Structures are given as C-alpha cells and as structure tokens.
Structure 1
C-alpha cells in the first residue's frame, strides 16, 4: 500500500504516519516528491486492510494499493522519473549519461589513457572491472583491490565518476570504498544475498539484466535493493540469450519503453555486451537513445587486440570519439542532450 500525504503536510504528521505504519508491522519507505510525500508500506499483504484506517490520520490524503509485485520500483509509488545523484552528476534527468572504459582494469597506463580519452569525448563515468566473474575458472579474474586503486588513480587524474562490479557480498564494503557506483552483473542479477548487501551499503547501484531474466524478475531483483532503503538504482539492459548466434546476445530494445512504463528507475543500455562485436555497438547505441534510454555503458580500450577480456566488442579510442559525435544529434532529436 502507499499512503499519499496532502500537499504541504508537516514533518510531524509524516512522522506520525511512519510510526503507525511500523506499529502495524510494516516497513515504511518514504519517497519525497516535488509537491507531496508518499509513504510505501511494505509487508505481509494478508493484513493490508488494516492500513486503510490511516486515511483518518491528519495529513493523509489517500491510501492506495500497489498492484505490481515490485512495490517500490513501480510507477504506482512514484509517478515521475527518479533521478539518481552521484555527487554532482544526475542520472535519469534530461541529459543522456555515458559510462565508458575497458572490460578489465589491466594497468595504470591503460586506465589513464582510456580515462582521459573518454572524458574528452564527453563520457561522465569511467567503467572498469577490478573483479571479473568469468565463465572459465582459468580466465583472467581481475586485479582485485589493486585494480580498484588504479581506478582511483584515474578518477583523481580526470574527475570522472567510477563504476565497477561487485561479485561477492564479502567485497561490497571494499568496492564501495573506491567506487561511486556499484555494478551488479548479469550473472548476479538473482544473487539475492549480494543484492541485499549492496542495498545495505547504500552506494548507487547499476543493476544489469540477466541473460534469461524476464522484465518482472528483473524488477523484482531491483526491489531487493530498494527494500533495503537504497533507492539509487539504475537499470541496464545488456542483451538476452536467444536462438540467434550471429551476435553474442540479442539486445532487447523492447525492454526500454517497457521498463520506462513500469518503473520510475533510470534505464541504461549496454550495446557492447548486447552485440559482442565493436561494429554493431554504434548503431545499437544510437537506437537505444532513440527509444528512450537514459544512458549507455560502452566498452572502450586503447588496444582491444591486447585486451585481457572482451577485446572484440571494445571500441578503440578514436571510434568512441566518433560515436559520441554521432550520438549528440540523435539525443537532440528526441529532446535530450549528451
């Protein structure tokens, strides 16, 4: 259920409603809108009728049921779009935000060169994997904390924000010490212990869709993070597994308008993993912005042929600059800016 407070309801009335919600055995999640406050009451739905009596409390306008199973992620709880703030950077607003960088952190020189190039091209966030979940146990697994330190060096040199992946609940605090945004990869979209942990840590989270995850399952995964009180969640469509073998995955651009209809959370697209080949990244990036994506995450490497992972889908620095130049008029055509 959601309790919609009257416009201008004082803080004392909001506190009284929160106390009553908790006394009835529910978790209270406060969502501040531009004009009014909404309180989500999350808990056992079998006794939700007791919440209806809250309409009699001072300052309450109405009490409404949330029909979707993903309560806090639903548009029902917040009609407008959420804007995730990462320091002075706003994600989900009018500007399309681009995150770019290599799949894996490999060296200081690699990270500095890439960071300076992607910043010059217009990217706002540097991506790079310090911990890498790989299909093969013998593949490069990342540089761990040393990789995090190299990301920090690149941030200090350029001012870019950092997004990097967490693969183990035990590492969440460590990664949060360095990262501005914690990434949950496709393999971990239903690792519920990890979702809860990053929710508890409280840093903004980039949650990638799994390769066989339905939209409903995906939003329920986001709900795990939101239910821990962390409302700074960014969704990311990165391709799903189908019968097609000519690309690494099938980039599900349908998901962008569907998610935008169902949830208030910002929606990103990863055309690098979605296609698996650098030649297809540019057209799919443009298509993603054209159909409403709030941002992109793109793999970029100074020497893709030498990359420890995903070199085939990584853009060279000059190709990334070209892509950013081509994205600007697309963004403007749909009322956005880069």
Structure 2
C-alpha cells in the first residue's frame, strides 16, 4: 500500500507514521516527492490494514499498489529516480555513458582506455575484475589487482568505476574500490547477492537475465530496493531468442515499456546485446532516441588483442564517433550526454 501523507507533513509526523506501519508488521519505505511525502507499506496483506492506516490524522489517503514490484513501481514514486556516482548521472534528463574494456588486463591497458573514453565524454569507466565466464578455462579476471587498477584509473581521470560483483562475500571488497556495483545477467536472480548489494548502499547497475521476463527483472530490482538502497539502474543487455545473426537480441522497446512501469532509470548495453562491434554505434543512437537514460559500452585500445569480448568492443576512435552521434540525438530530445 501507498500511504500518502497530507501536504506539509513534518518529518516528525512521517517518523511517527513509519513506526505505526512497522508495528503492524509491514516494512516502511519513505519516498520524498516534489509535492508531498509518501510511504510504501510493504508486506503480507492483512484484513483491515488499509482502514487502520487511513484513520490516522496525518494521512491523506491509502492507495493499494497493484504491481507485484511495490517499491520499483511508478504507483509508488511517479518522479524518475536519478542514479548518481561522482560525475555520472543516469536519469532525469541525463544520459550517463559508461565505457571501458570487458576485462581489466593491465595497468597500461586500463589507464589508456580510461583517458580515451574520458576525452570522448564518458562519465563512467567499466572494466571487469572478477569475470564470470562460460568456460572454466577462459580468462577469469585479475580480481583484487584489477580493482586496484580501476581505482588508479579513477584517481587519474575522475571517472566513476563500474564493475561486477559476483558473490555476497565479495561485496565489501568490490565496494571498497568501486563507485557502482554491477550485477551481471547470470546473477540477476541471485537473491542473496541482490540483498547484499542493497545493504551496501552503493549505486547498483542491475542487468536483465538472458531469459528473464520484465516482471522477473523488476522483482529482482525490488530485492535491492527492499533493503533501503534507492540507487538502482536497470540495464537491458539483450535476451536469448531463436535468432543467431547477433549474440543476443536487443529489444529497445524495453526502454519505453520500463518507463511506463517504473521510476528506475534504464541503461542499454549494445555491446552484449549485439556481440558485433559494427552494430554497436547504431544501437547506441537508437537507444538514446528510444529514451534510454544511459549506455554501457565496451571499448578496448586494441580489440583484436582483447582477452575477452574483443569482437564486440569498439576502438577508442569508433567510440568517440559514436559519442558525437549520440550527443546530437540527446540534444534533439532536450537531454544532456
């Protein structure tokens, strides 16, 4: 349920209402709107709860939340959420661009690409330190050494570091070095991990599972939000279909669909969504045109020598050209990039 407080309600009256909601065995999520405060009261439904909450003087009205994802729903928070980390802003008219290699391979590689994507206009640096690979014999990442190199690149460039965390017991370690915790597609329904990153309070980039429905995707985000972490961005990275001409199928309709149902910003990953470097630039501009709040793009100084995902990685020159085209589309839509 959504408990809508009366206009001008004080912080004390909101705190009192939160205590009353929690005494009823519900979890309270306070959401400060532009005009008034609302409290999402989430938990197992019991008879008479709505009437009880409506009886309090501080309450204007109590509205049931119809969507299965309560805190992520537009019913709960009609104003768009903006996810912020350093100079990276995703949502609210800002198209946040995150770029970098699939994997951190060396100090020279990550520093070189960080300088180049920063010069082209990126605000975030991506790079895998812990890599989930289909084959156990493939490059698994430099682990903590990779995290240290990402932090070194951030120190020089000011870019917000975005990297994947794979297990709950790695959350504290990765959070120490990074600005945004990424949950990969394979872990979208790793509920213990989702709860752990929710407790961390670090911004989270949640990728859609390759076979996940939209409700499953949003309910995965709900696990993070339910821990009190409001800084969550959704990432469409393509789904598995019968098509074989691309690595995955990238459904850009996801952007418009999600904007109709959630206040969370939507990021597009055209690198994994296509798996083909030549398709990445047009999908980037199409994503911005569709209303995406951010892009995450794989860029490598020498894609042919990349230890992972070289076929879908842009060169720094191609990335700079892509940014120019995306910027034109963003300006046309009164957005900043």
- For the superposition of Structure 1 and Structure 2, which TM-score range results when normalised by the shorter chain? over 0.9
5+ unaligned residues in a row in structure 1: which ranges? none
For the 8 Å contact 1:13–1:58, the answer to whether it is kept is: no
Matched, 1:66 2:65: yes
Query: How far did residue 88 of structure 1 move?
Result: 4.8
Q: TM-score, normalised by structure 2?
A: 0.98
* Cα offsets for 1:118-168 (capped at 9, x unmatched): 000000000000000000011111000000000000000101100000011
Closer/same/farther in 2, CA of residues 95 and 210 from structure 1, 3 Å limit: same
For the 8 Å contact 1:101–1:114, the answer to whether it is kept is: yes
Matches within 5 A, 1:36-185: 36-45=36-45, 47=46, 49-185=48-184
Matched, 1:308 2:289: no
Query: How far did residue 90 of structure 1 move?
Result: 2.7
Aligned position for 1:324: 323
* Cα offsets for 1:176-219 (capped at 9, x unmatched): 00110000000000011111111111100000001000001000
Query: How far did residue 56 of structure 1 move?
Result: 2.2
What secondary structure does 2:7 align onto?
coil
Aligned position for 2:234: 235
Counterpart Cα distance in 2 of 1:13 and 1:89: 35
What secondary structure does 1:103 align onto?
coil
Query: How far did residue 59 of structure 1 move?
Result: 2.0
Closer/same/farther in 2, CA of residues 302 and 294 from structure 1, 3 Å limit: same
For the 8 Å contact 2:100–2:114, the answer to whether it is kept is: yes
Closer/same/farther in 2, CA of residues 48 and 5 from structure 1, 3 Å limit: farther
Closer/same/farther in 2, CA of residues 203 and 48 from structure 1, 3 Å limit: farther
Aligned position for 2:332: 333
Aligned position for 2:31: 31
Query: How far did residue 248 of structure 1 move?
Result: 0.2
Counterpart Cα distance in 2 of 1:193 and 1:137: 23
Query: How far did residue 237 of structure 1 move?
Result: 0.3
Q: TM-score, normalised by structure 1?
A: 0.98
Query: How far did residue 57 of structure 1 move?
Result: 1.5
Paired residues, what number? 337
Counterpart Cα distance in 2 of 1:257 and 1:79: 15
What secondary structure does 1:296 align onto?
strand
Aligned position for 2:288: 289
Counterpart Cα distance in 1 of 2:240 and 2:86: 35
Counterpart Cα distance in 1 of 2:149 and 2:51: 53
**More divergent stretch after superposition (182-191 vs 10-19):** 10-19
Aligned position for 2:211: 212
Aligned position for 2:279: 280
* Cα offsets for 1:79-107 (capped at 9, x unmatched): 11111222454321212110000000000
What secondary structure does 1:81 align onto?
coil
Counterpart Cα distance in 2 of 1:228 and 1:148: 25
Counterpart Cα distance in 1 of 2:240 and 2:263: 26
Matched, 1:202 2:196: no
Counterpart Cα distance in 2 of 1:92 and 1:146: 32
5+ unaligned residues in a row in structure 2: which ranges? none
